[in-house]
Amino acid sequence: MPLELIADRPGHAILSEYDEPELAPGEVRVNSLFSSVKHGTELRGFRADTPDASDRWDRELGLHRRGEAVGDEFLRRLGNMCLGEVSAVGAEVDALQVGDRVFAHLPIRETHTIAAARLQKAPDGVSPQAIMYWDPADFAVGAVRDAPVHLGDRVAVFGLGAIGLMVAQLARICGARWVVAVDPIERRRQAAQRHGADLALDPTAVDAGLEIKQCTDKIGADIVFETSGNYRAFEDAMRSTCYGGTLVSTAYYHGDQGLHLAGEWHRNRINVRSSRACSEPLPQPGWDFARIRRESLALLVEDRLKADDLIDPIVPFAQAADAYREINEHPERSIKLGIDHLL
């Protein structure tokens, strides 16, 4: 029987057998080639670290209903994106055939039986790593458009996970004069500098706000992005923003620390924007999430956004459970976990 990666309880990943259903009309079967993980939201769910997010979301009112908890469900499938090859085609499927490479938001498992309409054909020549970055890239594109970044801007990026690393590259594409990347994890700072960041700072070793002010003629960054969901990072981001500048957050904040809105917030007239590319309608005329996704994929396919060395580590499917526990317990050892089903 085929295997899939699941969490059977909070913080514990295993490979588990599953039954493959028969093909229904309109469906195809896909053999997985490469899969990846979403390190932010997905890992929080894996740890059951979501008490604030688990309150029921009221779409009509646009708020979480406090005390009406949905709760974290286990067994929980793990994984966020999959590239695979079509191995069988059901009736009423005309757009795909056996051998096509396809991708979609899918969990980490050996096979998928899925509606053909949910899949996209992978462009010729694009790497699996680039496909895995389609999800973080679209939220990064949304954030940079929400800022927006202008020609000549000085930009700071706090949090160098997948979204932050894409934001740093996009800022340069948009014409930023200077980009500084901030993260406590060394391999992520190194990745940001490989892809164009002028400076990388460890916020546990230096006062990031002070360093950024001193590097910008005592002015600060015009645009600051905070992508980590860490309250301390948000405070450091505020300290780094110039008077009247803009701080854009893509993150979901959590934990018991709380946010301390200090003197920089009070004195410097900082503009704070939340950014979530799939929260529609978008503020820019002519843009919706579908257009952002098309643009994100195009940037990856054209190799304007670089991702091939940003899937780190890459492990065989047989090691997926151990690797998942490793990234949860030792985030300093990874950027974005990739699962190569052919290894």
| Domains of the chain, residue spans | 3-133+307-340, 135-274
pLDDT at position 138 is: 96
Q: Which of 15-19, 221-225, 259-263 has the lowest mean pLDDT?
A: 259-263
How does DSSP assign 246-277, residue by residue?
Answer: EEEE-----SSS-----HHHHHS--EEEE--T
Q: What is the pLDDT of residue 257?
A: 72
Comparing 60-69, 143-152, 289-298, the range with the smallest average pLDDT is 60-69
pLDDT band for 74, please (50, 70, 90 cuts).
confident
pLDDT at 336 over 90: yes
Residue 54: predicted pLDDT: 64
Considering the domain 135-274 in this protein, what is its CATH number?
3.40.50.720
CATH superfamily of 3-133+307-340: Medium-chain alcohol dehydrogenases, catalytic domain (3.90.180.10)
Give the per-residue pLDDT at 52.
57
Predicted local distance difference test score (pLDDT) of residue 40 = 86
Percent share of the chain, pLDDT over 90: 84
Q: Where are the alpha helices (DSSP H) in the chain?
A: 41-47, 128-132, 134-146, 162-173, 186-194, 208-215, 231-240, 263-267, 289-301, 320-329
pLDDT of residue 266: 87
Mean pLDDT score, 199-203:
98
SS3 at position 335: coil
- Taking only the tens place, the pLDDT of each residue in 313-328 is 999 999 999 999 999 9
| Mean pLDDT score across all residues of the chain | 93
Compute the distance between CA of residue 90 and CA of residue 25 in angstroms, rounded to an integer.
Answer: 5
- Confidence (pTM): 0.94
Answer yes or no: are the C-beta atoms of 159 and 237 closer than 8 Å. no
Tell me which DSSP letter residue 24 carries.
P
User: Has residue 140 got a pLDDT over 90?
Assistant: yes
